[in-house]
Structure 1
Amino acid sequence: MDYQMDLCYEAMNGSCWKYVRPHAIHVPMLIAIMLIISMTFIGNLLVIISIGHFRQLHTPTNQLILSLALCDFLIGLFVMPLSAVRSMQGCWYFGEFLCKLHTCIDITLSTSSIFHLVSVSAERFCAVCGPLRYRSCFGLSTVLLMISISWLIPGIFAYVMTFLEINIHGGKDFYDAHVRCVGGCHVFFSHGPAVFTSVFSFYIPGFIIVVIYSRIYMVARNQERSIRLQLNQLRRVYPSRDVQLQTRKATVTIAIVVGAFLVCWTPFFLCNILNPFIGYATPPMLIDVLMWFGYANSTLNPFIYAFMHSWCRKAVRIIVTGEIFKNNSSRKDLYT
């Protein structure tokens, strides 16, 4: 890649390098980042307004979706804009404390978003695999507990990692000699913290998500076979087209949910866990690109978990057309 390197602070010793890219690279990169930020902000805001405004959507299940949307909305509001400045220029102009605070919020919200996806997958598992016990298992108290865990544990974890500097434990000398510079805000992990962070924030939650949705897929297939057998016993040679379409839709939905999560986050966490063991040879710009792939999961979540449902699309139409400001709009029936 052809680009120049200037200093972030020309008059200071030990300044970080600043990226000066050709316009052919800089402009498309800026457009892509602004598009991701805008879609993340608007998409999740629409989900928050929809679930918050319409009384019909005030269910324990939708509280999980609302909390997920709030988490992703905050990523678009607080994390992405400052990360965009760092990604575009390679410099951080907001001081060391705000660097730590931004890193802490970034780790908190990104991990919280992944934890929310685990909670949503657990809710879907109970709905599909144990429908008779669903209401007793997933009441408001259970959902609030899952939401609390999805926020508190990532928050504590991120604070310990950043403000107590556990992330550089065992690698401080290398960090001071080769990474730290004036005008930089590097998310650095030494060997042990890199492994622990990746396993805690991605690999364990990712494994749980894959296992749960694999189980849901198997149950859906078994249900299809059972229905097909019952129809054959009623001397109907071919299964109902509705059953086939529902099964196909469930399969596609599961593939989208799991695929989007893995495609967005696997490259970053694979790089994160390997980078210390290859002497931090991964170019910073590549790490930035992989980080934005991870952020894009927050952009896609409202489309995957909300906009795919007809009730959400109807709610969005009401919001966009201004009908939300009419009297009793919160009582509209979104399921007809």
Structure 2
Amino acid sequence: DKAVYLLGNSSPPASAQLCYENVTGSCVKTPYSPGPRLILYTVFASGAVLAVFGNLLVMTSILHFKQLHSPTNLLIASLACADFLVGVTVMPFSMVRSVESCWYFGRSFCTFHTCCDVAFCYSSLFHLCFISIDRYIAVTDPLVYPTKFTVSVSGICIGVSWILPLAYSGAVFYTGAYDDGLEELSSALNCVGGCQVVVNQFWLWVDFLLFFTPTCVIIILYSNIFLVARKQAKRIENINSKVEEVSGTHKIRVAKRERKAAKTLGVTVVAFLISWLPYMIDSFIDSFLGFITPSYVYEIFSWFGYCNSALNPFIYALFYPWFRRAMKLIITGQVIKDSSSNVNLFSN
């Protein structure tokens, strides 16, 4: 372990490879053999490419086609932007660190990389929290929903989802407050060629609250959403009179559409939580156990979370016919035609 050599004030074995040869204080390098190395680069690079281009398709679809300019879809587009930025600013550099076991991009960029990593994760979570509120209102009161959750309200939610995570992440990592009391361990882990953040227990408690408070809100709201949806489904099934059926047709159709959207976004929420919970739980517990998690386990949990950014476009493609139609129009270049933004994506 590279931290052990430095904490013990001893030199690594002469046979050990260093991230920077002939540089005092260099981290010890533990490279993979060529076969596994190629496989890892292929897998990680594929995830980054899918995150970038998949979310770019989502953003382009929603922003280009006027029919998709709804409050919910604007939140989805902003969520896709967070995932897109993970694919651009976080995944490529984490890929090199994971495979090479060294950080070759300098200390300043290490801080920036960590800041982006944390900020975009929380931004995604806050977006999902606001989306769950949006879906709760839409399902419980579908006819009044358009007047309650407007584009302006959606814009405020998007602003909060970006400003708070960026402000928090920047304040913690650019002030150096995150490793107060752990300077020796942090210095050991961040030898020349290292970029591993050690966060003290105070800020881990803050992280815990920031992650699990929105998570609890999401779980409670989606639990209520599916209870209400089930009651609505039973109520629709119990409609016997043709007069009642005709008079309630619009309300039934709206309720069905909102329930379907809620289920789809519920899958997105579950995917996010499954992806990031192992990392968050491990980080929290690890701080109380003296940071004993092996580096390869840390990397696995990190990439499990990163891959969520590449997963959401697949979820939309699977459940949203409008996204599949929009994607086809974009890929075939038909969006450059005049009036393409007015195409009806909901036609059969």
TM-score after normalising by structure 2: 0.86
Q: After TM superposition, give the deviation of residue 156 of structure 1 in Å.
A: 0.7
| 1:25 Cα deviation from its structure 2 partner | 2.2
Q: 1:77-88 residue pairs with structure 2 within 5 A?
A: 77-88=88-99
Offset of residue 229 of structure 1: 2.6
Deviation of the 1:159 alpha carbon: 0.7
The equivalent of 2:43 in structure 1 is: 32
Query: Who is 1:179 aligned against?
Result: 189
Partner of 2:250: none
Q: CA deviation at 1:222?
A: 0.9
Say if 1:279 and 1:190 are closer, same or farther in 2 by CA, change over 3 A: same
Which residue type is aligned with residue 125 of structure 2? Answer: I
1:29-69 deviation per Cα after TM superposition (whole angstroms, max 9, x unaligned): 11110111111111100011111211222222221111111
CA separation in 2, counterparts of 1:46 and 1:250?
A: 19
> Which residue does the alignment assign to 2:173?
162
Cα gap change, 1:251 to 1:125, in 2 (>3 Å): closer
Q: For 1:61, which of 69, 72, 80 is the aligned residue?
A: 72
- 1:27 to partner: Cα distance: 2.1
For 2:201, which of 180, 185, 191 is the aligned residue? 191
Indicate conservation of the 8 Å contact 1:213/1:254, yes or no.
Answer: no
- TM-score, normalised via structure 1 length: 0.89
Aligned to 1:323: 334
Quick one: distance in 1 between partners of 2:259 and 2:109?
Answer: 48
Give the superposition deviation at 1:254.
6.3
Q: Residues 275-286 of structure 1: matches in 2 within 5 Å?
A: 275-286=286-297
Query: Which whole-Å CA distance do the structure 2 matches of 1:34 and 1:154 have between them?
Result: 26
- Contact 1:220/1:247 (<8 A) preserved: no
* Number of equivalent positions: 324
Aligned mates of 2:322, 2:258 — CA distance in 1: 20
Equivalent in the alignment of 2:235? 226
Which amino acid is the alignment partner of residue 84 of structure 2?
F
Farther-moved stretch of structure 1 (105-114 vs 252-261): 252-261
Report the alpha carbon displacement of residue 249 of structure 1 after superposing the two structures with TM: 6.2
Q: Provide the residue aligned with 1:7 in structure 2.
A: 18
* Corresponding residue for residue 212 of structure 2: 203
Q: Does 1:312 align with 2:323?
A: yes
Structure 2: where are the runs of 5+ without partners?
1-14, 244-252
Q: Residue 122 of structure 1 corresponds to which residue in structure 2?
A: 133
Tell me the alpha carbon deviations over residues 80-139 of structure 1, each in whole angstroms, 9 at most, x when there is no partner. 111111111121122111111111111111111111111111111111112132112111
Using the aligned pairs only, state the percent identity.
38
Residue 112 of structure 1 pairs with residue 123 of structure 2? yes
- The separation in 1 between residues aligned to 2:133 and 2:259, in whole angstroms, is 21
The answer to whether the Cα contact below 8 Å between 1:44 and 1:70 also exists between their aligned partners in 2 is yes
Deviation at 1:77, TM superposition (A): 1.0
Cross-structure match for 1:97 = 108
| Aligned CA distance change for structure 1 residues 21 and 162 (closer, same or farther; 3 Å) | same
| Backbone CA RMSD of aligned residues | 2.5
Distance 1:101 1:255, change over 3 A: closer
